[in-house]
Amino acid sequence: MERRIVKVALDTPLDTAFDYRWIKSDEAEPIPQVGQFVLVPFGRREVVGLILAVQQASDLAEDKIRDVIAVRSQLAPLSSKWLALCYFAADYYQRPVGEVVIPCSPKNLRALKNTALDKAIKKTAKLKAPALATASVRPQLHDEQEQAVLALEADTGFSVNLLFGVTGSGKTEVYLQAAERILDRARMAGEAAQVLILVPEINLTPQLEGNIRARFPHLQLATLHSQLAEGERLLNWMAAHTGNADIVLGTRLAVLASMPDLKLIVIDEEHDPSYKQQEGLRYSARDLGIWRAHQLNIPVVLGSATPSMESWQHAATGRYRKLELTRRAASNAQLPRVSLIDMERNKAPDGLAEPLVAAIKLRLEKGEQSLLFLNRRGYAPVIHCDACGWISNCRRCTAFMVLHKPERRLRCHHCSLELRIPNACPTCGNVDLQPLGRGTQRVEETLQKMFPDARVLRIDADSTRKKGSAQEAFDSVHRGDVDILLGTQMVAKGHDFQRLTLVGAINPDTALFSQDYRAGERLFAQLMQVAGRAGRAAQSAEGNPSEVLIQTRYPAHPLYRALLAHDYAGFAQTTLEERRSAGLPPFMFQALLRAEARELPLALAFLEQARGLLDHEGIIINDPVPMTITRVAGIERAQLLVESVSRMQLQAFLKPWVADLRALKSKVRWTLEVDPVDI
């Protein structure tokens, strides 16, 4: 009787691999292979795992080993290259490899019966015969675009290319034509080829998918993101895995898609924080994408109008090649004119200063659209009582309960606690409770009062809870059914609104004084991006360029000065100098150990213990400190920052340290994040 021991990776933080017994049940059954999915018992559940090794024997006693339920042998095994990528990710981020390989694979592999899986495989295979249709017209590339495409086309091996292009400069066109030429060249040579395009958030950039389909009607496009229905996700995953999909378009998890013929990786808006996973395996899809390109010896393109400091610094030292697009692509499009509204001089009882109100009025008269950006949802961030000083603190968090007026609720944005709005002050009975500050709902109310005939639309996480509602909202803006669009960062992303000629930023100052050293970089990127929504096609009626107005109390702040001049390079240079002298990334490599406990001293004591575990030459271990928002949902949180000027040295320290931390078997919950982005 044929039998094997298979070592299986499972999605659990417990261990790297688990032994299971496989016994041949009928003559036709093939021996399991490394890289195949298996169904196995785990506790009382059946879970899906991935075979990492096939052996004759186990170190465990026979009665400790359970039997494999089924091997998904109808799927071609994942390649050793793909497994090497996953091992690297597990190793670098200090997690078991099962937490890499299982979450990025379709869940349906577990639930599906073999027959259903067979059906799905047949269906993917049939996808290969695309309908004939005429492709959208390929615009004539302008010089800078042509140079960028030529540079990419010429690369036959690994290269990291920073495509630095102002908003509307036609970065997308560079991706598409580079992809097309690389796919064509492979086809001519009789080779298979695939292209991976990563975007921060697919729902906010539906135009890209449409553009790709229209340009390449003869190619297979598969999308991969977390909002796909499971059935569709399986089909698309399989299309990538079998090589049937020529182009895979996805969010960060797609960086781990199995693509046997990958020849080009594109990472659009490479600076976007959404590329960083904030739970489980806390990976950076950008960094893994670059590693993958290196592994496969292919080019990778990082596109942005406001690159991350990491990428900018690499371009400065020549490690990355910089490809630059300096002007807008469409023939009559110009960069908008940016001005500041000094809020010390302009009174704004309703949050909107007179010059901004006048500018909106002008757009309404001309039938053009305005966009107002306020990165704070809800009606007001807090309510309070003038009589006794009561304030709407969340009882479970070190945070305020936010007033949501249309929903008639107070909501904590950290623990999701919801309360009815109190009729009177809970401590003194005063019935006159006041909102403090303003969020998008309040500004919406103000706009409706000021411009009763205008069509005002608010887009934020609250207004778009229903599936598909964000899409619907954006469609109505594109159709021209909206005069004033108001929203959080959701409205800043890559939309190409044709009739938009005014952008207003209502209260961006809060980010200037944040504790987070990256807040300035993020604010600059957001303002550039939202400003970039203006003037993409339409000229204002008199041929004036579009306008961006920023309300601020700090008009002399260097960040705003750089923004006025559209001077990202200047901003980046100052920022990098500051980072260098302060010993911050990208000149320092960091890992963050976080601890959670019912009592803060417990969390701090755990971190203190962690600090003393290992000798740490060349490593800076800072003092344990409570997190800025210390308590969330009744849990106290603290952190310990570990740093080194050498990435390798930090990695060499982390591995044994994490092993020691695990061995403590502490009751305190902890997580380690390598290259943290929120500190």
The span from the CA of 139 to the CA of 83, in Å, is: 40
Among 94, 108, 172, 313, binds ligand ADP (CB under 6 A): 172
Q: Which is nearer to Zn ion, 84 or 431 (CB)?
A: 431
Instruction: Decide: is 414 part of the binding site for Zn ion (CB under 5 A).
Output: yes
Calculated CA dihedral for residues 479, 482, 488, 490, nearest 10 degrees: -10
Instruction: Decide: is 529 part of the binding site for ligand ADP (CB under 6 A).
Output: no
Report phi then psi at 490, rounded to 5.
Answer: -55, -30
Q: Which one of Zn ion, ligand ADP, none interacts with residue 430, CB within 5 to 8 A by kind?
A: Zn ion
Instruction: Decide: is 538 part of the binding site for ligand ADP (CB under 6 A).
Output: no
Q: Which one of Zn ion, ligand ADP, none interacts with residue 264, CB within 5 to 8 A by kind?
A: none
Q: Which one of ligand ADP, Zn ion, none interacts with residue 388, CB within 5 to 8 A by kind?
A: Zn ion
Q: Which one of Zn ion, ligand ADP, none interacts with residue 480, CB within 5 to 8 A by kind?
A: none
Angle between helices 309-316 and 568-582 (to 10 degrees): 100
Among 35, 49, 165, 504, binds ligand ADP (CB under 6 A): 165
Among 33, 277, 295, 430, binds Zn ion (CB under 5 A): 430
> Interacting stretch for ligand ADP, rule CB under 6 A, among 57-65, 164-172, 359-367, 425-433?
164-172
Instruction: Decide: is 171 part of the binding site for ligand ADP (CB under 6 A).
Output: yes
Q: Which is nearer to ligand ADP, 103 or 139 (CB)?
A: 139
Alpha-carbon distance values, 348 to 340, 353, 369, 443, 507 (Å):
14, 5, 22, 12, 12
- Number of residues lying near ligand ADP (CB under 6 A): 16
Return the SS3 of 445.
helix
Contact 58, 5 (CB under 8 A): yes
> Interacting stretch for ligand ADP, rule CB under 6 A, among 1-9, 63-71, 167-175, 405-413?
167-175
Return the SS3 of 567.
coil
Instruction: Decide: is 410 part of the binding site for Zn ion (CB under 5 A).
Output: no
Q: Which is nearer to Zn ion, 569 or 635 (CB)?
A: 635
Q: Which one of Zn ion, ligand ADP, none interacts with residue 170, CB within 5 to 8 A by kind?
A: ligand ADP
Q: Which one of ligand ADP, Zn ion, none interacts with residue 220, CB within 5 to 8 A by kind?
A: none
Contact 457, 472 (CB under 8 A): no
What is the β-pairing status of strands 262-268 and 70-71?
A: unpaired
Phi-psi map region of 59: left, alpha, beta (phi>0 left; psi -120 to 50 alpha): alpha
Beta strands in 445-582 (DSSP E): 456-459, 484-487, 500-505, 547-552
Among 11, 99, 173, 272, binds ligand ADP (CB under 6 A): 173
Report phi then psi at 24, rounded to 5.
Answer: -60, 125
Site residues for ligand ADP, 302-361, by CB under 6 A, read 329-330
- Residue 376 CB, nearest approach to Zn ion (Å): 17
In b/e form, how buried is each residue of 348-385, taking b as 16+ CB within 10 angstroms? beebbbebbbebbebbbeeebbbbbbbbbbbbbbbbbb
Q: Which one of Zn ion, ligand ADP, none interacts with residue 173, CB within 5 to 8 A by kind?
A: ligand ADP
Alpha-carbon distance values, 283 to 98, 255, 655 (Å):
14, 10, 16
CB atoms closer than 10 angstroms to residue 99: 22
Q: Which one of Zn ion, ligand ADP, none interacts with residue 488, CB within 5 to 8 A by kind?
A: none
Q: Which one of ligand ADP, Zn ion, none interacts with residue 390, CB within 5 to 8 A by kind?
A: Zn ion
CA–centroid distance for 42 within its chain: 32
Q: Which one of ligand ADP, Zn ion, none interacts with residue 397, CB within 5 to 8 A by kind?
A: Zn ion
Among 149, 412, 548, 668, binds Zn ion (CB under 5 A): 412
Contact pattern for ligand ADP over residues 497 through 526, marking x by CB under 6 A: ------------------------------
Contact pattern for ligand ADP over residues 110 through 149, marking x by CB under 6 A: -----------------------------xxxx--x----
The side-by-side arrangement of strands in the sheet containing 221-224 is 221-224, 247-250, 194-198, 262-268, 299-304, 159-165, 321-325
Return the SS3 of 609.
helix
Specify the amino acid at residue 211. Answer: N
Q: Residue 117 is inside which H or E element, if any? A: helix 114-126
- Residue 532 CB, nearest approach to ligand ADP (Å): 6
Q: Which one of Zn ion, ligand ADP, none interacts with residue 620, CB within 5 to 8 A by kind?
A: none
Q: Which is nearer to ligand ADP, 324 or 407 (CB)?
A: 324
Report phi then psi at 581, rounded to 5.
Answer: -75, -25
Angle subtended at Cα 336 by Cα 331 and Cα 342, rounded to the nearest 5 degrees: 175
Contact pattern for Zn ion over residues 380 through 409, marking x by CB under 5 A: -----x-xx-x---x-xx------------
Residues within the interface to Zn ion (CB under 5 A):
385, 387-388, 390, 394, 396-397, 412, 414-415, 417, 425, 427-428, 430
**Where do contacts with ligand ADP occur on this chain (CB under 6 A)?**
139-142, 145, 165, 167-173, 329-330, 496
